[in-house]
Structure 1
Amino acid sequence: MAKNDPYAALRFKEFNIFLLLRFALVLGWSMQFVVIEWQVYALTEDPLSLGIIGLCEFLPAFLLAPFAGHIVDKKEKRNLFTLCIALFSLISFGLFWLTSEYIEANWETGSILLGIYALVFFGGVLRAFFGPTIFSLIALLVPKRAYPNAATWSSSTWKGANVFGALCAGFLIAWIGVHYTLGIIFILVMFALLLVFRIGKKPILYKGNNESVKESLKAGLSFVFNDKVILGALTLDMIAVLFGGAVAIFAVFAKDILDAGPKGFGLLNAALSSGSIITMLATTYLPITKNTGKKLLVSVFGFGVFMIIFGASKLLWLSVVALFFSGVFDGVSMVIRQTILQLKTPDEMRGRVGAVNSMFVGSSNELGALESGIAAKLFGAPLAVVLGGTVTLIIAAVIGVKNKPLRELDLRKDIEEHELEEIL
């Protein structure tokens, strides 16, 4: 394999199948997020309700993540992934049903909202398992030498689905309404469910057969918290998402500040993700393994700067541009973080480390939605985003100064060691 082969991971059939089903799954998930955010805000016209959605998904995803990681390490990954997708299809169908004409005509608004919050909560339960399952499965689809390239393609696929999903959701809401858009989402999830059976079952690499659940969870948490590089990378990303992100209140900007309607809402969501995917695809040709730590710090700092510009903007075009460049820096950050995790995590601990990653980053999306909703309620949406971006800049600077192992990280040596292991 050429050292800078941009298609290294794509030379493995099952990985290509995985990318296709992940695109369909994330496309549906991202569309569902946008549609539900729009629907709930339309029903309540209260930004705090958007924060409640984040809280409903955050609590189970965060609290169950360590236990989910233990389960993922002990179970066969393909079958577990299949079960997660099947259960997600039930949630998608439930949301489709809750937005039907019959329910809207016969249920009170409060009851519909409770139903949506309940399904979002069960989605949070699934999120606790999805993250570590996907993280563990990727490592079983390609050899170690292709891990960085696989992380790049997987992250690009995830972001690409977010781009298309966010854009489609906004336009579909305007064209066919919330109910039928959720019907399309259900079809996408069922397509992903069919595809997953094209991937074979994988070996279970867990070595702690005599460990108690408590010991297993402690081992996973200790590994992450004792590794300054992994801990620093996860902390940076968590802070950026928690304070710097504003996705949950894009509906407020689209309707009340930029006067852009549902189409503008879709553009705002797509702008952030489109910048990310373009950057991610570029990293397949321009690897980020040299001076990795410095690039991570710069990317998080740049993300914060452009989110401040977005928060201060009153023009749609400037807001879209600011979000695009925020996405560019976010894309670099995501690829680097995933590459660090894939290269530095032992095979038998991938589920637990993936679960901690979900706690830090995945759950911070939902907690960030709550933070954004509360801040928007207290200070107004523009000031809330500006303050969040400022916090991101401060934290990135502090970690850059205090965490020397992360600042001086260079992943070229790790890749060379993995290549040597395979040769031997």
Structure 2
Amino acid sequence: MTAVPTSPAAAQPNAPLRSYTSFMRFWWGRLAGTTGQQMLMVALGWQMYEITGSAWDLGLVGLLQFIPALVLTLPAGHVVDRHDRRLLLAGCMALQLVVGLALALGTAGGWVGRELILALSLLLGVARAFQMPSQQALAPTLVPAAVLPRALAFSSGAMQAAVVAGPALGGFLYAAGATVVYGVCAALFALGCVLVMRITPVARPAHREPASWNTMLAGLRFIWQRQAILGALSLDLFAVLLGGATALLPIFARDVLHTGPWGLGLLRGAPAIGALLVSVVLTRTPIERRVGRTMLLSVGVYGLCMLVFGWSTNFLLSFAALLVSGGADMISVVIRQSLVQLDTPDEMRGRVAAVNSIFIGASNQLGEFESGATAAAFGPVGSVVLGGMGTLLVVGLWFRLFPTLARRETLSSPPA
């Protein structure tokens, strides 16, 4: 059995206090950074549309962030495993701080234009490529393995709160001008950078493998050779790819549920609210038994919620379906992240996290395309209903294709 590495502080007398302090600095830093990211994206998209009035340019903003995140992800994972993860995460926030300051100064000076926004979007994509593997690989080194599931649930809940509050705060502050939003974003990135830098350094191995294509692709090989991890990551990929309905929410709000922008805002926030509520429960009472089966069944509940949402013509029922779907997804997310982190040796966590980020990015981006394509062919209701059915089919297949995952009893690594 592969030993699960913990923070080097864990073996020292004051380890619990240092571990708690470091994790809370990481938690607050990540919360500040995520809130800043969400606010920045709202302001960036709104300002681009004000300048150009082009939906194509709005798409380019997202595309130019996605391309470097995809291209650089595997090299980024290799870098994360070879260098101080604190410094890398702080560097990502510092780069976003520079972007926020440039947009604030450019807006105040009147020289922000289409080309500058697109160039800065590219820098945001570079930061995103390194940020996700850095923070995913850093978190398990800050707490003992026994409390990692609770820590991940606590951290995930904060991120869901930031996803809900960030865009709302950004939209509210935009009424005072884009400069105000960008200034607040820069301040949040600066705060996040300082907090991450104050995390107690984690010792890195003195011997490091030389950089090569072999070591860069080691994360892919590691996942492929471990059925439980491969099953967990691929299950999430197909569930989001087939069952996601975010891209179609404007259509449902206006044409199916006959509500206005306020209703769309509630629908978009419902999954995050459900996830936040469940994360609070998981922080206090983590799932400790039959974790594989629980993960698969939670994805099944997610698929059922999509069926209810697709067939519903009542706003409250639709809101409730999305709320429950977010809670079910949070159960899946916490179990998946815990399985991956606890089964992965510390020296591999950056590369494995990088592959995980590819799965997440691909599922989100391709899921929006799949929703649009099937909606064009079968209508929005048909698209969501087919996606829900597809998700349930995937859950059934995964019970048979990945029996190791289905039979997984605990989050800790079983004996070999």
Cα distance in 1 for residues equivalent to 2:367 and 2:91: 28
Partner of 2:130: 129
Shift in alpha-carbon separation, 1:177–1:271, aligned structure 2, 3 A: farther
Is the CA contact (8 Å cut-off) linking 2:18 and 2:200 kept in structure 1? no
Contact 2:223 2:230 in 1 (8 A): yes
Deviation at 1:181, TM superposition (A): 3.7
CA gap of 1:157–1:380, structure 2 versus 1, over 3 A, is same
Aligned residues: 399
Task: Indicate how the Cα distance of structure 1 residues 371 and 44 shifts in structure 2: closer, same or farther if over 3 A, else same.
Answer: farther
Tell me the distance in 1 between the aligned counterparts of 2:206 and 2:368: 35
Q: Distance in 1 between matches of 2:49 and 2:323?
A: 24
Contact between 2:293 and 2:407, CA under 8 Å: does it hold in 1? yes
Which residue, 6, 25, 39 being the options, matches 1:17?
Answer: 25
Offset at 1:180?
4.0
Query: What TM-score results when the alignment is normalised by the length of structure 1?
Result: 0.82
SS for the counterpart of 1:12 is: helix
Write the deviation string for residues 339-363 of structure 1: whole angstroms up to 9, x where unpaired.
Answer: 1011100011111111111111244
Counterpart in 1 of 2:184? 184
Question: What are the within-5 Å matches in structure 2 for residues 55-70 of structure 1?
Answer: 55-70=63-78
SS at match of 1:284: helix
Q: Give 1:159-198 correspondences, 5 Å limit.
A: 159-169=160-170, 171-172=172-173, 175-176=175-176, 180-198=180-198
Q: Distance in 2 between matches of 1:77 and 1:237?
A: 26
Instruction: Give the equivalent residue in structure 2 for 1:149.
Output: 150
On the 8 A contact 1:61/1:363 being kept in 2, the answer is: no
Q: Distance in 2 between matches of 1:79 and 1:332?
A: 31
- 2:13: which partner in 1? none
Cα distance in 1 between the residues matched to 2:205 and 2:369: 37
Instruction: Show CA shifts across 1:37-63 (max 9, x none).
Output: 5666786585x7766555433332222
Query: More displaced, 157-166 or 308-317?
Result: 308-317
Q: Tell me which residue corresponds to 1:4.
A: none
Amino acid aligned to 2:147: A
The within-5 A match list for 1:239-250 is: 239-250=238-249
Taking structure 1 as reference, are residues 412 and 83 closer, same or farther at Cα in structure 2, changes over 3 Å only? closer
> Corresponding residue for 2:100?
92
Q: Indicate how the Cα distance of structure 1 residues 233 and 87 shifts in structure 2: closer, same or farther if over 3 A, else same.
A: same
**Structure 1 stretches of 5 or more lacking a match?**
1-7, 418-424
Q: Structure 1 residue 73 and structure 2 residue 81: aligned?
A: yes
Distance 1:315 1:158 in 2: 29
Q: Structure 2 length as normaliser, TM-score? A: 0.83
Decide whether aligned partners of structure 1 residues 267 and 207 sit closer, same or farther in structure 2, where only a CA change above 3 A counts: farther
SS in 2 for 1:139: helix
**What does residue 12 of structure 2 align with?**
none
Query: What does residue 299 of structure 1 align with?
Result: 298
Letter in 2 for 1:161: A
The reply to whether residue 199 of structure 1 matches residue 207 of structure 2 is: no
- Give the stretch that moved more between structures: 87-96 or 218-227: 87-96
CA-to-aligned-CA distance 1:229-269 (integer Å, 9 cap, x gap) = 00110111112223322334545555666565554443223
Cα deviation, residue 26, structure 1 = 1.1
- Aligned-pair CA distance for 1:74: 0.5
Native 8 Å contact 2:19 2:142 kept in 1:
no
Q: Tell me the residue number matched to 2:4.
A: none
* Counterpart residue type for residue 184 of structure 1: V
Change (3 A) 1:151 1:12: same
**Which residue matches 1:420?**
none
Q: CA deviation at 1:287?
A: 1.8
Find the counterpart in structure 1 of residue 11 from structure 2. none
Other-structure match for 2:286: 287
- Secondary structure of the 1:204 match is coil
Distance 1:83 1:369 in 2: 30
Give % identity.
37
| Bigger shift: residues 383-392 or 153-162 | 383-392
Structure 2 partner of 1:214: 213
Identify if the C-alpha distance between structure 1 residues 375 and 182 changes in structure 2 by more than 3 Å, giving closer, same or farther. farther
* Cα distance in 1, alignment partners of residues 139 and 408 from structure 2: 23
Name the CA distance, whole Å, in 2 between partners of 1:176 and 1:155.
31
> Match for residue 333 of structure 2?
334
Distance 2:219 2:157 in 1: 27
| Matches for 1:245-324 after TM superposition, within 5 Å | 245-254=244-253, 258=257, 260-324=259-323
Q: How much is the aligned-residue C-alpha RMSD, in angstroms?
A: 3.2
CA distance in 2, matches of 1:77, 1:34: 28
| Residue 337 of structure 1: how far off its partner (Å) | 0.7
State the match for 1:399 in structure 2: 398
Greater shift after overlay, 258-267 or 392-401?
A: 258-267
Q: 1:253 to 1:44 in 2, by over 3 A?
A: farther
In structure 1, what is the Cα distance between the partners aligned to 2:96 and 2:234? 28
Distance 1:277 1:61, change over 3 A: same
